[in-house]
Amino acid sequence: MCYIIKTFINHLLILTALPLSCSPLALLWLCLSQLPMSYMSCIFQLSPRRTDVLTVTPWLAPVVWEGTFDPMLIDAIYKPMNLTVAATVFAVGKYIMFLQGFLESAERHFLVGFRVHYHIFTDEPEKVPPLTLAAGRQIIVHKVHKLNRWQDISASRMQLIQKVIEDRVHREAIYMFCLDVDAKFYSRWGAEALELLVAQMHSWFYREQRHGFTYERNPASKAYIPNGEGDFYYAGALFGGSVGEVYKLAKMCHSHLEIDRANGIEALWQEESHLNWYLLHNKPSKVLSPEYMWDNKKGQPGEIKVIRFSQVPKNYKEVRENA
């Protein structure tokens, strides 16, 4: 019960930044909708609509799969809020080739009907495609330096996310998602994903036991997770939540990356390793199923009813620096 009250209060604090045109009833519905689905099921005596997959974490956060939410109800609750959602996308080096496909598919499927600010980080701003976006959606380009190693490009993301929140996103958006550019949207990716702190089960590890997770195992690293610990293995290709929660995540991960760098340590999967450490110690309030960032090389198992967002097939040796 304390968790319910805390979550409700946190959302009220977030929503003070919403437009004054939002009605009190709409605000109440949004706060209630953000409670973990397990609590909502208890309150309204609803039975789960999926029994073949995990729909609630051990700490009672919802796991979002097709069939666990009503998209029409979700849209009816959220769209009157006039929310702005920021999305960070890194198109550095050869990864610029994926940007047009990403943006075109996002306009068809990603938070359709919401205001979305795409923050594009690239070393080649002139190659950002001049797309016509839906009303209320815009592209903001940030020029960054190209680094020599793909590992360094990956590790620099947390610092840049932290900075863009400090510089402008905290004034412009309520929620924020950090997405990989080398992927396309194929189906609805909507407001059911919104929450305070959102993580996604990695498509290659959601069936694994924790001993199979590729956590950082070097005790000297700030990303270290001992054997026998861990909840899920989360994807670095997708995370988000309220702007404030994403800021705390990015700031701590950046700090830990810098400490490791000063000590001559590089975690196994760079920022993804630090992200997994953070989410072990700061539990996400919503977990997205692998539908929300899939890899088509895995085919489509029976539990994956819909593929919403999936990595583009590629040869990493051709697109990564020093691969």
pLDDT tier at 26, thresholds 50, 70, 90:
very low
How far apart (Å, rounded) are the C-alpha atoms in residues 291 and 310?
8
pTM to 2 decimal places:
0.85
The three-state (H, E, C) secondary structure of the chain, written as one string: CHHHHHHHHHHHHHHCCCCCCCCHHHHHHHHHHCCCHHHHHHHHCCCCCCCCCCCECCCCCEEECCCCCCHHHHHHHHHHHCCEEEEEEECCHHHHHHHHHHHHHHHHHECCCCEEEEEEEECCHHHCCCCCCCCCCEEEEEECCCCCCHHHHHHCHHHHHHHHHHHHHHHHCCEEEEEECCEEECCCECHHHCCCEEEEECCCCCCCCHHHCCCECCCCCCCECCCCCCCCCEEEEEEEEEHHHHHHHHHHHHHHHHHHHHCCCCCCCCHHHHHHHHHHHCCCCEEECHHHCEEHHHCCCCCCCCCCEEECCCCHHHHCCCC
The binding site comprises 90-92, 95, 180-182, 202, 214, 272, 295
The binding site for Mn(2+) comprises 180, 182
Q: Does the residue 19 lie in any domain? A: no
Query: Which two tokens mark 118?
Result: 């795409």
Q: Does the residue 86 lie in any domain? A: yes
Per-residue pLDDT, 38: 43
Residue range 111-168, pLDDT digits in tens? 999 999 999 999 999 999 999 999 999 999 999 987 666 566 666 889 999 999 999 9
Percent of the chain predicted with pLDDT > 70: 79
Q: Does the residue 156 lie in any domain? A: yes
Q: Does the residue 162 lie in any domain? A: yes
Q: Is 258 a catalytic residue?
A: no
How far apart (Å, rounded) are the C-alpha atoms in residues 178 and 87?
6
Mean pLDDT of 51-80: 94
* Number of Cβ atoms within 10 Å of the Cβ of 277: 22
Q: Does the residue 57 lie in any domain? A: no
Residue range 245-282, pLDDT digits in tens? 999 999 999 999 999 999 999 999 889 999 999 999 99
CATH number, residue 88:
3.90.550.10
Strand order in the sheet with 63-64: 63-64, 286-288, 197-201, 234-242, 175-180, 84-90, 115-122, 138-143
Mean pLDDT of 174-185: 97
The binding site for UDP-N-acetyl-alpha-D-galactosamine comprises 90-92, 95, 180-182
Q: Does the residue 220 lie in any domain? A: yes
Q: Which of 195, 245, 266, 272 is catalytic?
A: 272
Per-residue pLDDT, 125: 96
Q: Is 143 left (phi over 0), alpha (psi -120 to 50) or beta?
A: beta
Q: Does the residue 132 lie in any domain? A: yes
How far apart (Å, rounded) are the C-alpha atoms in residues 145 and 124?
9
- What domain range includes position 275? 80-315
* Contacts (Cβ under 8 Å, ≥6 apart) of 112: 134, 188, 190
Q: Does the residue 129 lie in any domain? A: yes
Distances (CA, A) of 184 to 135, 136, 295: 21, 21, 11
Domains contained in the chain, number: 1
Calculate the CA dihedral of residues 204, 207, 211, 214 and round it to 10 degrees.
Answer: 10
Q: Is 230 left (phi over 0), alpha (psi -120 to 50) or beta?
A: left
